[in-house]
Amino acid sequence: MIEAVGLTKRYGAKTAVDQLSFQVKPGHVTGFLGPNGSGKSTTMRMILGLDRPTSGQVTINGLPFRELPNAQRHVGALLDAKAVHGGRRARTHLLSIAQLSGIPEKRVDEVLAVVGLQDAARQRTKGFSLGMGQRLGIATALLGDPQVLLFDEPVNGLDPEGILWVRNLMRRLAAEGRTVFVSSHLMSEMALTADHLIVIGRGRLLADMGTQEFIAHNSAGFARVRAADTDPDGRDTLGRALAGAGGRVLQEPDGALRVTGLELPRISDLAHGAGVRLWELSPHRASLEEAYMRMTQSAVEYTSTEDPRAELWEQDPLALPAWEDEPTAPEVPQAGFFAPPPPGAGGKPFLMPSNPGELASTAKDSTEDPR
Amino acid sequence: MAFTAVLTSEWTKIRTVASTSWTLAVAMIVTVGFGALISTAAKAGLDRMSALERAAFDPTVVSFTGMQFGQLAMIVFGVMVVSTEYSTGMIRTSLAAVPARARFLFGKLTVATALALLVGLLTSFVSFFLGQAILGDHGTGLGTENVLRAVIGAGVYMALLALFSMGVAAMLRSSVASISILIPFFLIVSNALNIFEATRTYGQYLPDAAGSKIIEVVPDTIAGTGTPYGPWGGLGIMVLWVAASVLGGYLVLRKRDA
C-alpha cells in the first residue's frame, strides 16, 4: 500500500505538487491521471525517494522508500523507458539492476521472456524503439517480483498489441494481490485498465474514487431530441414544453435539442402531451474522457493560444433556443460540440474542437516531460 | 542487500560499456608511448651532458613523463563512470533499486577505483621497464632505493586522479561540465602555476603537483628545490583533495533530487 499525506513539492516559486493525500490499495489497478505538467511524474519520483518532498510524506507499507530494507524486492518501478545506458545490452542492463538486490541471473531471463524481449536480449538498448524501451522498463520493474508496482506512462510508444498486453499485465498483477499504480494521460486507456482513479491537476487532488463512480459523478449525460422536420413549429412547441417541465434545453446547429435534467420517458411523455412527433430521442452518456476533460479544464498546465486563422475552423455554436430569453451559461458541453461513442465502446471519442487550438493541445499530450 | 551486491552490480555495469575500455586503453597507450618517446630523446641528450647534470637525472621520472598526457584519459574515465548515470537517466533506475545513497556511490567508486588502480599499476610497470630498457646504461632497476615506491606510486597516483574526477563528476552531474573543468585545469592551470616561482607557492599544493611527487627518486626532480613536502607528504595532500571531492560528491547525491 502506498500512502501519501500532505505531499508537497515546490521548485522555487512553482508548486509542482500541492498537499496531495491519497492511498493506493493492494489488489487494484489504481490509475493516476492528470494533464501534462500536473505533477504525476514528480509524485512518482517522490514515492521512490528520488525527489525529496518540500513537506508532507509518502510511505510504502508504512516506511519511506529510502528506509525500505531490500527495496527492490518490495517495490518495482518504471519511471522513464529511456533511463538506460544505450551502450549496454538489454540483458546486461537488467543483470546489473538484478545484482543490486542479489536477484539470481535466472530471473533476468524470466522477465525478458515475460515482456517478450528474449530475442533482443543481446542488443544494445540505444537501438531500441520506444515500445521496446517500455518493455525493458517493465521488465526492470518486475525483476524483484515486488508487491508494489509503479508505472509512469507505461503505454507510451506501444502499438495496439503492446497496449493490450500492458493492460492485461496490470490487471493480472493486481489480481495477484499486488498494489499497481499506473500514471497516464490517456483517459480511455485508464477507463479500461484501472478500477480506481486518482486525478490531479496543477498538483492538486481533483478526485479519488472508483472508475465507474468517477464517470457517474462527472458525466453529465444528456438526451438528444429531434422533432419532425415536417412540422415547422414542432421544435419550438417541444422546447417550451420541456423547459416548462424543468428541463434545460440547448439547440444544436442542425436543429436537434440537447436536453438535460429530464429522463427519457418523461421527454417522450411531454412530446406526446404537446402533440409533437419525434424523429430522434437518444441517450448520450459522457465517457471518462469527457468527464476528465470537464474536470481538468481549469487545471491544464499548457493551454494553446488562439490561432489567428481560427475563423476557418469555426462552426456554428450551440445556440440558446428562441424561447429562452435570458442567456444562461451552458452547463453541459463546455468542451464543445462532441459526438460521444456508442455506449459500451470504450474507444476514445473524437472531440470536435471548438477552436483549432484544442487539436494542437491533444497533439501535445502525446509527449510527456522527459524527466 | 549487502555492499557486495552493489559491487557485483557496478562491476557488471563498468565492464559492459565501451567507454571503460577505451578510456583505460588510451590512458595506458599514451602513458607508455610518450614515456618511451621521451626516454629515447633523453638517452640521446644524456650522452652530451656533464657529470653534474647526469647526477641530477632521474631515470624513473623520465620513463613516467607520458603520465602527463595519459592521466587526462584517466580523468575522462573517472568522469564517465559517474556522469553517464546522470546523462542516461540510469541514476533513477539505480536509485530506485538501491535507495541507500552511500552504499550506491561508494560501491561504484570502489569498483571503478580498483579497476583504475589495476590499469594504473600495469601502466606504470610497463612504462618503467620499457623506459629503462630504452635508457640502457643510464637506466635504473626496481632494486634501487625508492624506485619500487615510485613505480607503485605512479599507479596509485593514476587511480587517485580517477577517483578525484569521480567525486567532481558526482558534484557536477554532467560529463561536459566535469571534463571541461578538469582537463584544462590539469593540462594548463596546474602546470602554469607551477612554472613560475611566485605562483608555485600555491600551485604546489594542487592535487596533481603534490601527488606526482611520489614518482621521483632523485629528490627535487619534479618540482625544483624547496618543496615543503616529501613524496609521501605529497601523496597525502593529494589524498586530502580526493577525500574532499568524494565527500562533496556524496553530499550532493544525498541532498539533491536525482
Residue B137: pLDDT band (50, 70, 90) is confident
Look up residue A185 and give its amino acid: H
The 8-class DSSP code of residue A263 comes to -
Instruction: Residue A265: count other Cβ atoms within 10 Å of its Cβ.
Output: 9
Contact between B96 and A86 using a beta-carbon 8 Å cutoff: no
Interface test with A, best of B91, B93, B94, B252 (most A CBs within 10 A): B93
Distance, CA of B214 to CA of B124 (rounded, Å): 12
Interface of B with A (CB under 8 A): 1-2, 5-6, 8-10, 12-13, 16-19, 84, 88-100, 257-258
Write the pLDDT tens digit of every residue in A250-299. Answer: 888 888 888 888 888 899 999 999 888 899 998 887 666 776 777 776 65
* Distance (Å) from the alpha carbon of A333 to chain B's nearest alpha carbon: 42
pLDDT confidence tier of residue A329, bands split at 50, 70 and 90: very low
Cβ partners under 8 Å of residue A216, min gap 6: none
Q: With 80 as the cut, is the pLDDT of residue B224 above it?
A: no
| pLDDT for residue A350 | 45
State whether A85 and B13 contact (CB < 8 Å).
yes
Residues of A in contact with B90 (CB under 8 A): 83-85
Inter-chain touch A84–B8, beta carbons under 8 Å: no
Residues A200-237 have pLDDT tens digits of 988 889 889 898 888 777 666 788 899 888 877 888 88
Shortest Cα–Cα distance, B258 to chain A (Å): 5
Q: Report the alpha-carbon distance of residue B87 to residue A79 in Å, rounded.
A: 15
Which one-letter DSSP state was computed for residue A152? E
For residue A358, what pLDDT is reported?
Answer: 46
Reported pTM: 0.79
CA A201 vs CA A207, A319, A368: distances in Å: 10, 30, 15
> Which of A99, A95, A131 has its CA nearest to residue A110?
A95
Inter-chain CB proximity B97 and A97 less than 8 Å: yes
Spatial neighbors of B161 by CB under 8 A, at least 6 apart, are B71, B74, B75, B78, B186, B207, B208, B211
pLDDT over 70 (residue A325): no
DSSP state of B229: S
Q: What is the pLDDT of residues A22-79, one digit of tens each?
A: 999 999 999 999 888 889 999 999 999 999 999 999 999 999 999 988 888 899 999 9
Q: Is the pLDDT of residue B173 over 70?
A: yes
Predicted pLDDT at A340: 44
CA angle B257, A299, A284 (to 5 degrees): 135
Say what the pLDDT of residue A286 is: 64
Name the closest residue on chain A to residue B13, using Cα atoms: A96
Q: How far apart, in whole angstroms, are the C-alpha atoms of residue B86 and residue B168?
A: 13
Say whether pLDDT at A198 is over 60: yes
Nearest Cα residue in chain A from B19: A87
A100 with B98: Cβ contact below 8 A: yes
Chain B partners of A96 at a C-beta cutoff of 8 Å?
9-10, 12-13, 16
Mean predicted confidence (pLDDT) in A339-358 = 45
Q: Which residues contact A54 (CB under 8 A, 6 or more apart)?
A: A8, A9, A10
- The Cα of A136 is separated from the nearest Cα of chain B by a number of Å equal to 12
Distances (CA, A) of B94 to A123, A128, B88: 20, 20, 11
Query: Residue A206 phi/psi, 5° resolution?
Result: -105, -35
> What's the whole-number average pLDDT of chain B?
91
The total of structural domains in chain B comes to 1
Is the pLDDT confidence value at A189 over 70?
yes
β-sheet with A14-24: strand ranges across: A14-24, A2-11, A55-60
What share of chain A has pLDDT > 90, as a percent? 41
> What are the φ and ψ backbone dihedral angles of A276, each rounded to 5 degrees?
-105, 135
> Which pLDDT score, from 0 to 100, does residue A244 have?
87
Instruction: Tell me which of B17 and A357 has the higher pLDDT.
Output: B17
- Contact indicator for A86, A124 with CB cutoff of 8 Å: yes
Q: Locate B239 and state its grid cell.
A: 589524498
Provide the pLDDT confidence category of residue A365 given band limits of 50, 70 and 90: very low
Q: Which domain holds residue B168?
A: 3-255
CB atoms B93 and A72 under 8 Å: no
Give the residues across from A33 on adjacent strands: A184, A199
Q: Which residue has the higher pLDDT, B226 or B168?
A: B168
Q: What does the pLDDT look like over B179-199, one tens digit per residue? A: 999 999 998 888 888 888 888
Q: Give how far B3 is from chain A: nearest CA, Å.
A: 9
Sign of CA dihedral A64, A65, A70, A71: positive
Spatial contact of A108 and A142, defined as CB atoms under 8 Å apart: no
Q: How far is CA A353 from the centre of its chain?
A: 19
Contact A100 B9 (CB under 8 A): yes
The pairing of strands A148-152 and A55-60 is unpaired
Q: How many CB atoms lie within 10 A of CB B204?
A: 22
pLDDT at A208: 92
